[in-house]
Structure 1
Amino acid sequence: MRSVQEKPTPTTREVDPARVDSGEGMLALPDVERVRADVTRRASVVDDAFGNEEGAQVRYKTCNWVQTALLMIAETISLGVLALPQAVAHLGLVPGLLLIAFLGIVATYTGFVIGQFKEAFPGVCSFPDVGFLIAGRFGREFMAVSSILILVFIMGAHIVSFNLMMNWLTNHATCTIVWAVIGTLVSFIIGMPRKMSGLSWTSAASCISILIAVLITLVALAVRAPSPGNVSAVVSTLPLHSSIVAVMTMILAYAGHVAFFSFLGEMSQPRDFKKALAFMTTTTCTFYMVIAAVIYYYAGSTVTSPALDGIGNPTITKVAYGIAAPTIVVAGVVNGAVAAKYIYTRYWAGTRVIHERSFKSLASWYFINAILWLVAFIIAEAIPNFHVLLSLIGSLFCSWFSYGLPGGLWLYMNKGRWTSSKRKIALAVVNAGILCLGATICVLGTWAGAKALANGEGGRSFSCGDNRSH
């Protein structure tokens, strides 16, 4: 039986009413009186999951903004950049690059909304907390299931990347399922640290590895390209569902929002989150546009997904995959840590177990991680096609966590004040539009992904076959 300690009375940050009334800043905060009323109404959720860490054996709130930025980049950039060149090829260079830029701008804005929501409700440490704050117990459970599903699906996508990498490195020396099992075990072992700060430096290695791997890909494509520049400004002949799948791949490139509350919860100075967000989104958006355009320019319409498969020289492809290995593993591990941390802190809420180095605390942490990676393995084997799996993740989940839900959070924070000023009216329209954008993406993307699966594009489930592109 877990011993539950009495929770402290929730508190909220003081907000300057003059600043709220004037609409100062891009994201006007709600008035402090209503914030207090809402926090009090949901007192059981707004308590900080980690509580007072003074004297604790394990302290979680230790990440500075640089470490947080590295975690955000490692979580976001790997799968997206490997799939974007083909997505641009399917849509055409002009709409492809415009969409990457547009989605990046919107993702930056919605990230700031999440940061503002955390400032207004300091105890919120996850989207399930948000769900409970807004819609009670149903909202919490619905958001908990949704959050864990997107994170586990992304973990599964990284297992697919791992067995693809191993098939390249070994020339498909054994059954692909064996590589998937090994990838699952490696990810589980690397994901053992309980603190995000413990993963931040492996995230730095992840960022460096994907940069070098992509540069190798660019050089190899530039050297071998027989006629570079064979690109289309706009592609109008692709089936509708294939075009939507390409857009979903771009949306997944900005899929980090589901983890933002978790990262905020482990920052020593949460107000520095905006620095980490600005650094991450500027880096990723620029990187995505440059890499997608240049690889498409040299590879043409035959560009593959992941892009490393299309180098054309097996030896160079092996080198690129070997260097990209930290990214392929670490990005999945970061998502796994976020999912496990929510389950872990919720189960041990109100106790000191999460701050201990005891058998109980460690065994439960390892058990939760093992179950999550087992489910991710099953997903990876059920949908082994890389770009179709990414499309499903983007449409079912990222459409909401990166776009739709943050728009709804702004409307919730400012309810009753949407028409209080011209700035508020404009922001209300923008955020309502973002909410509708998320819903539209979800509906169209799910239809396109289902059609792709019905057409057999998902690949053979639990197959020993070689999954490389040739």
Structure 2
Amino acid sequence: SAYPRDPTAKMGSEKDPLIPKDVALTDSGRPVVKRSVHWALLSFLILGEIAGQGVFALPLHLGRLGWFAGTLTCFGTLAINNISLRIMYATHTRFPEAKSQGEAAGILFGPVGQGFIRAVVHLYLFTIQSAYLNSLGRTIMNEFYGTRVCLPLATGIAALIVFPFAQLRSYGDITGISIASFGAVVAVVALIVGKSRAVEPDPLASTSFWPPLGLTDSLTSVGGFFFASGGGQCAFFEYLSEMSRPEDYPKTLWLTTPALFALYYGTAAAMYARFGDKVPGFLLDILPFDASRLVGNTLFFFHIIVSFVILNSALLRAYARFSVTDSSTAARRDWAVLSAAVVLGAYVLTNTVSLFEDLTAAIGSLFVATTVLLIPPAYLYAAHWFGRRADPERGAVSSESPPVKRSPSLKKLGGFIGKFSPMKKGRKEMPGGDAGGGGSSGGSTPGESTPRRTGFEVHWSVLWSLRVMLAVAVVAVPVLSWGSLVRLVQDMATLAPPFSCGPCVTKECIENERAESAMAYLGLLERRVRGAALRG
């Protein structure tokens, strides 16, 4: 049975993400979720969400950071995402009635914070859709390697292909789809690594132990690693609502994080070691011009279609006027209009920022870093100071509870919590003599030197760790975003203006580039020989 829920809260009924079709509803209109997902299956669901297009730009980002910083960044971003998800789980154990990011934010930060977090999550989902459309367009360009297909045309074809699939509103057997999708990614990576042995590397390519480029390139690549490594937060509460044993969730992290590190670093290191700083920003470009190129791009196309459908449904359910189980013409028309708006917006964005590596790095720096570094510790930090009047029968927030006003150090952070939490600095005495939550739930009374525990507090060491994470996030998110946006603007002005044709990935273009590189290498050798002869 599901956790008890607050019937006074505004909910989306069966429109909630990941709620199965034809579910039973409680008297309050909330869905009764059948908990049937084992933690191992959820692991593949998370892998299907996280592992994907980001891995195909990681060799380039490793090259921009060098072996030392690149290795640390790959491990560090995955470790940060692991810790972030554990913090989300700690928040869940304190507020099991929250079944979405919006609900958790509403409980902890009030309507303003709820609106802010919803905006961040929805913008993140939309920009990811744009990156997906970019990948689909690049895949079509690779399929037609005998003819030059420009990116605006390719992404237009991709939009037409993906639009019918975007009409799928109910997830169905999402775990099975996710396993197949993750399997497709692994198969593509294995194909690329295997076929790359037959591709001659650029003779001018080199590797570096230290970051070989400037600050903006390094920050951009850190954002690229965040894009690839971050995930699991946006639908975190929905995932747990379907687990047969939510307390087993931490087990998924012991499977997903090592698997992602092996996939990410193994791919990036193998490709960077072979192709050096000449490794392409879209790894599928390495495949030779034969059947393997068609197979690899087809598998990747399938993976992106599945990912697009999953995230499109998660995004649109917040705006749809009808239930996803409503089969009426009006409901389908409403969904089609919303899908068309998303696909059209994604088409405009992906052709405005057409370089795949720049687009993913910008998303990783701004939105993924926010959802990983900032929001989870903000949740748990606010939960530590949370006091509420509990209803012993439901364990939920009572509708008669006054606003909570106990948080002695929120304003010191000077940022997210202080602005968006309804909890203010200091303690205000509530009816009944309690400060904070009042009643039997704990809090402190005037004159007490040590507040009584409410069941939400964390250990002091964890509390200080959360403060450090929030402080780092307040600095890291704008700095990483600045670096990525500077590189993005530079490339838009020089390499890839908005709605330009995009990179040439035809067989003729690639062979000409290789011939030019070989001639440049021969010229370099000739100059070295002449220089040695003159010195002799």
Deviation string, structure 1 residues 430-466 (Cα, Å, up to 9, x no partner): 2222223322232112211221233134722223454
Deviation string, structure 1 residues 406-445 (Cα, Å, up to 9, x no partner): 1111211222799999982221222222223322232112
Distance in 2, matches of 1:89 and 1:436, equals 29
Say which of 131, 141, 144 aligns to 2:118. Answer: 144
The one-letter code matched in structure 2 to 1:460 is P
1:404 maps onto 2:380 in alignment? no
SS in structure 1 at match of 2:209:
coil
Greater relative CO, 1 or 2 (CA 8 Å, sep 6+): 1
| Shift in CA distance, 467/280, structure 1 to aligned 2, threshold 3 Å | farther
Deviation string, structure 1 residues 213-232 (Cα, Å, up to 9, x no partner): 11111122233355999532
Matches within 5 A, 1:42-53: 43-44=8-9, 53=23
| Shift in CA distance, 137/83, structure 1 to aligned 2, threshold 3 Å | same
Deviation string, structure 1 residues 21-62 (Cα, Å, up to 9, x no partner): xxxxxxxxxxxxxxxxxx79xx52589775994279x98756
| Shift in CA distance, 101/45, structure 1 to aligned 2, threshold 3 Å | farther
| Shift in CA distance, 166/324, structure 1 to aligned 2, threshold 3 Å | same
Deviation string, structure 1 residues 276-335 (Cα, Å, up to 9, x no partner): 444322321221121111111112121111122234656644442223221232223222
Matches within 5 A, 1:438-449: 438-449=473-484
Shift of 1:208: 1.3
Q: CA RMSD in A?
A: 3.3
Matches within 5 A, 1:364-383: 364-383=334-353
Higher helix share: 1
The one-letter code matched in structure 1 to 2:360 is L
Say which of 155, 163, 171 aligns to 2:129. Answer: 155
SS in structure 2 at match of 1:96:
helix
Matches within 5 A, 1:305-384: 305-311=281-287, 316-344=292-320, 347=321, 353-384=323-354
Say which of 89, 97, 106 aligns to 1:115. Answer: 89
1:219 maps onto 2:191 in alignment? no
> Max radius of gyration: which structure?
2
Residue pair 2:77, 2:230 contacting (<8 A) in 1 also: no
Structure 1 runs of 4+ aligned residues shifted over 6 Å read 46-49, 416-423
Matches within 5 A, 1:429-468: 429-457=464-492, 459-466=496-503, 468=505
Give the aligned partner of residue 424 of structure 1.
Answer: 459
TM-score, normalised with respect to structure 2: 0.71
Deviation string, structure 1 residues 382-418 (Cα, Å, up to 9, x no partner): 1111011111111111111012111111211222799
Residue pair 1:160, 1:380 contacting (<8 A) in 2 also: yes
Residue pair 1:46, 1:123 contacting (<8 A) in 2 also: no
Give the aligned partner of residue 362 of structure 2.
Answer: 392
Residue pair 2:52, 2:185 contacting (<8 A) in 1 also: yes
1:201 maps onto 2:180 in alignment? no
Which segments of 5 or more consecutive residues in structure 2 lack a partner in the other structure?
386-406, 410-449, 511-536
Distance in 1, matches of 2:474 and 2:34, equals 34
* Mean Cα deviation higher: 189-198 or 398-407: 189-198
Give the aligned partner of residue 20 of structure 1.
Answer: none
Distance in 1, matches of 2:302 and 2:162, equals 10
* Mean Cα deviation higher: 267-276 or 393-402: 267-276
Which segments of 5 or more consecutive residues in structure 1 lack a partner in the other structure?
1-9, 13-38
SS in structure 2 at match of 1:161:
helix
Give the aligned partner of residue 37 of structure 2.
Answer: 64
The one-letter code matched in structure 2 to 1:396 is L
| Shift in CA distance, 250/259, structure 1 to aligned 2, threshold 3 Å | same
Shift of 1:137: 1.9
Residue pair 2:51, 2:260 contacting (<8 A) in 1 also: yes
Alignment identity in percent? Answer: 20
Shift of 1:197: 3.9
Distance in 2, matches of 1:431 and 1:197, equals 37
Give the aligned partner of residue 261 of structure 2.
Answer: 285
Distance in 1, matches of 2:164 and 2:237, equals 24
TM-score, normalised with respect to structure 1: 0.80
SS in structure 2 at match of 1:44:
coil
Distance in 2, matches of 1:134 and 1:369, equals 31
The one-letter code matched in structure 2 to 1:78 is G
Deviation string, structure 1 residues 241-291 (Cα, Å, up to 9, x no partner): 011000000001123222323433454554443344443223212211211
Give the aligned partner of residue 58 of structure 2.
Answer: 84
| Shift in CA distance, 122/397, structure 1 to aligned 2, threshold 3 Å | same
Shift of 1:89: 0.7
What is the aligned residue count? 425
